[in-house]
Structure 1
Amino acid sequence: MSYKIWMSVVKEFLLLKRDLGGLIILFIMPLVLVITVTLIQDSTFKTVSDTKIQILLVDNDNGSVSKTVFDNLEKSQLFSVITQIDNKPITEEVARENVYKGKFQLAIIIPKNLSVDLQTKIDQNVENIVSKMGLTETDTTAQKTNKTIKEKEVKLYFDPAVQMSFKNAVMSSIDKMISQIETKSIYTTFQNQLGEENTKFEQKSFITFKEIVPKINNKEVLPNSVQHNVPAWTLFAIFFIVIPLSINIVKEKSQGTFVRLLTNPVSNLIVIIGKTITYSVICMIQFYMMVAVAIFLFPHIGLPPLNIEGHLFLMSVVALFSGFAAIGFGILLGTVANTQEQSAPFGATSVLILAAIGGVWVPVFAMPKIMQLIAKSSPMNWALEAFYDVLLRNVSFLEIIPKISLLFLFFIITTSIALFYDKKKRTV
């Protein structure tokens, strides 16, 4: 029994050895993928980006408010403010045209008389409050509150191609900036109305926010792009073995190898066990290669290294059971498919779909409710959550048992269906 399984494993390795393209897909492409994606996404995890986003600013106000907006944008270290193009002041029409053509991601249009009208409106409101308190003469107040001030709009033009998250972040930042300007003006106006030149109002924010990050061995663990991307794209690479595995099964059927195997005293179960062992070894090699690259190569290309302190064993367990799930799916696909033209495109497309709904590309919490429910049925989601539990949430082995059990159950079910289907369809 053990000898038959061993020879089945040897057969699988010989098949892979002859398929150079398959080996490149299994080992080289995942490494290129994880390096490329992590480099691209790394800036989103940094507090300060090395690349500033150029934005257009049209200042029709030329007052204190617009100056404050300009100064705050410059200080943010995220934006590079442009007020001239070809040494000419930018107009709203020029800004709109450049943004809608994709030359710039954002244009901010500050309206005329914003500073003056804002101060006038604040003066009116403060005078009304002070007069009701009986601190000023009502005649003077009445003379100053006749003018009606219309609301002002700060226009924002966005490149149609930018993401909604970028729009929301920018609008929130500008809204906070304007609110701080209004608050400061209100305090200053009250001071002037009360005639207390030496009165100092505390304008520092009373309520602040502090992120409490998890600690491991009394050290704060700050999530970064590497911790999120390495598990996700390692999982993606593991599931991509569906393609060479299913193709090899189809080849065995089309070339007559499978028929020759059936003439020997070897059951289909032995063949499947051999494939499972072979591709499990490949999955683990993929996993350790990705981890090694993240630890040793990433620091040399400007990325933070992957911290696996105390986590390697549990991560290996998750990778192994993820490999089982991928192998079961590949065996089922190869058994059902009749040609390589069926197995290869369907395998690639199905892996992409499982990755999409599993949270590899877009976090599950950001999906619509119906997609969040569907995501729970993806084996990639089970595996990804198990990786995050181990690497980011510092859980124990007992807490990942439900997820790895689901992965193993998926392997058992898909393999059983493949065996049942093969038995029903077999003609030899």
Structure 2
Amino acid sequence: MMYKLWMSVYKEFLLLKRDFGGLIILFVMPLVLIITITLIQDSTFRTVTESKIPVVLIDNDKDEISKSVIENLNKSGQFEIVSSLDGKNLTENSAKEAVFKGKFQLAIIIPENLSKDLQLKVNQNVDKIISNFGIGDLSEEPKKDSLPQIINKKEVRLYFDPATQATFKSNVKSSIDKMISQIETKSIYATFQEQLGEGEEPIFEQESFITFKEIVPTVDNKEILPNSVQHNVPAWTLFAIFFIIVPLSINIVKEKGQGTQIRLLTNPVPYSIVIAGKTITYLVICMIQFYLMVLVGMYLFPYLSLPTLDLDGKFFLMSVVALFSGLAAIGFGILLGTIAKTQEQSAPFGATSVVILAAIGGVWVPVFAMPKVMQVISHISPMNWGLNAFYDVLLRKADAVEILPEIFLLLLFFIITIFIAIQYDKKKRAV
């Protein structure tokens, strides 16, 4: 039995050797893919975090609020404030026109007398509260005929480039709203202080009582922050592993078309041995793909100014996940090759199915960013199981026990697809 299995493996290697160019493509194209995608994503990440976005700011207030907005925008380190274009001071109309033509992503228009009118409104509200509590100066008779000054609402106008993403708009709006809310709160405290306080000592605490702090995993008191390499190497390794479905299914269809399968059936070799030979052969290819990806992440990426892939203490578990992911891909490829009748059926369907499994599995778009329906559907993709297992090991510091559910699903997927392939082959030969 072992001799038959070995000869089956040897046959598969001979078939691959005949198409040496195709074999090289299996290894080279995934490497080109992972390098390209990682460079693009890392460059995008650095652009967002390191470079400044020019923002037009028209300051019609020239008082406390506008000064605070400018100060906070400068402190954020993400924006570069622009007030002139081609040597001319920008107005609201010229700023709007420049933004709508795509020269700037954002224009902020601060209205006139914003700080002054806000203080007047706060004074009115505070005076009303104090008078209702009877804390005001009783020696002064209220003037019945005097009416409070009507202060119209102010609006800070924001102009966005039509091509700007919705998330950027939402972030800018919430940031500016937070700035102005803090200024309003401080004005209210200061006015109460002026009306009720004695001396210079503050009677109200003006610092935020509730703050937010992000807690991330740490090793040796150092924060573990995921980078583009840690996300891309697992994702595109899985994509490369599952793309083995295409050449595997095509080879099986070729054997049926060339009569190789019939010659194999005339020998006392069960179909399970033939499948085992294919499984071992293509599993070796999948593992070579994985190790090439790892080597690129560890040794080539630093020369491309990319983060280094750190697999310290995780190499074995990552290899286990790659192994079972390869089994799942091979099972699907064998099933497709067994069912398909022509290469025109197996090749397009195999390539399309890999793309679909990658899309719903979270390789391209994170699962949490998908609609609720797609988040549920993503759980049926073996790429999703493999990706979660990779992330558990690489980012969440999981041990062998914690990745067992994903490993079990990948193995079960392999067993089910192989079982269906064997049963389909038996039924077809019986007919």
- Confirm or deny: 8 A CA contact 1:130 1:136 kept in the other structure: no
Distance 2:220 2:48 in 1: 27
Q: Which amino acid aligns with 1:179?
A: S
For residue 140 of structure 1, report the CA deviation from its aligned partner: 7.2
The answer for unaligned runs of 5 or more in structure 1 is none
Q: Deviations for 1:357-408, whole angstroms, at most 9, x for unmatched residues?
A: 1122222233222222211111111111111222222222122222111111
Q: Which of 185, 188, 191 lines up with 2:190 in the alignment?
A: 188
The corresponding residue for 2:410 is 407
Q: CA RMSD in A?
A: 2.8
> What letter corresponds to residue 128 of structure 1 in structure 2?
K
Structure 1 residue 64: deviation in Å?
2.7
Q: Which amino acid aligns with 1:304?
A: P
Structure 1 outlier segments of 4+, above 4 Å: 43-48, 137-145, 194-197
Query: Residues 285, 145 of structure 1: CA spacing in aligned structure 2 closer, same or farther, 3 A cutoff?
Result: farther
Within 1, Cα distance between the matches of 2:98 and 2:17? 54
* Structure 1: distance between partners of 2:401 and 2:39: 34
- Is the Cα–Cα contact under 8 Å of residues 8 and 271 in structure 1 kept in the other structure? yes
Give 1:305 deviation, angstroms: 1.7
| TM-score, normalised with respect to structure 1 | 0.89
Deviates more, 1:6-15 or 1:215-224: 215-224
State the partner residue of 1:368: 371
Aligned-pair CA distance for 1:97: 4.1
Per the alignment, in what secondary structure is the counterpart of residue 415 of structure 1? helix
Instruction: State the SS of the aligned residue for 1:199.
Output: coil
Could you say if the C-alpha distance between residues 160 and 250 of structure 1 is closer, same or farther in structure 2, counting changes exceeding 3 Å? farther
What is the CA-CA distance between 1:426 and the residue it aligns to? 4.2
Paired residue type of 1:182:
E
Partner residue, 1:17: 17
- 3-state secondary structure, aligned to 1:56: strand
Deviation at 1:125, TM superposition (A): 1.7
Quote the residue 1:323 is aligned against.
Answer: 326
2:41 equivalent in structure 1: 41
Q: Which residue of 2 aligns with 1:423?
A: 426
**Alpha-carbon distance in 1 for matches of 2:365, 2:58:** 35
- Per-residue CA deviations over 1:228-257 (Å, capped at 9, x if unaligned) read 222122112211111222222222233333
Counting only pairs closer than 5 Å after superposition, residues 201-350 of structure 1 correspond to structure 2 as: 202-216=205-219, 219-350=222-353
How far, CA to CA, are the matches of 1:254 and 1:197 in structure 2?
Answer: 97
In the alignment, which residue of structure 2 is the partner of 1:71? 71
User: Pairwise mapping of residues 389-404 of structure 1 onto structure 2 (< 5 A)?
Assistant: 389-404=392-407
Instruction: Tell me: CA distance 1:21–1:112, structure 2 relative to 1, closer, same or farther (3 Å).
Output: farther
CA contact 1:276–1:327 (8 Å) conserved in 2: yes
Match of 1:358 among 361, 364, 369: 361
Distance 1:284 1:145 in 2: 82
Aligned length: 428
The equivalent residue for 2:384 is: 381
Kindly tell me: are residues 409 and 151 of structure 1, through their superposed partners in 2, closer, same or farther at Cα, counting changes over 3 Å?
Answer: same
Asked if the contact 1:43/1:49 (under 8 Å) is kept, the reply is: no
Counterparts in 2 of 1:339 and 1:48: CA distance versus 1, 3 Å: closer
Say which of 165, 168, 171 aligns to 1:169. Answer: 171
Would the aligned equivalents of 1:131 and 1:141 in 2 still touch at CA under 8 Å? no
How far the C-alpha of 1:265 sits from its partner, in A, is: 3.3
Q: Distance in 2 between matches of 1:344 and 1:92?
A: 58
Kindly report which structure 2 residues correspond to 1:83-98, keeping only aligned pairs within 5 A, or say none.
83-98=83-98
Q: What percent of counterpart residues are identical?
A: 69
The residue that corresponds to 1:156 in the other structure is 158
CA separation of 1:304 and 1:140: change in aligned 2, threshold 3 A: farther
Question: 2:32 maps to what in 1?
Answer: 32
What SS is found at the alignment partner of 2:328?
helix
Deviates further, 43-52 or 174-183: 43-52
Relative to the length of structure 2, the TM-score reads 0.89
Deviation of the 1:310 alpha carbon: 1.4
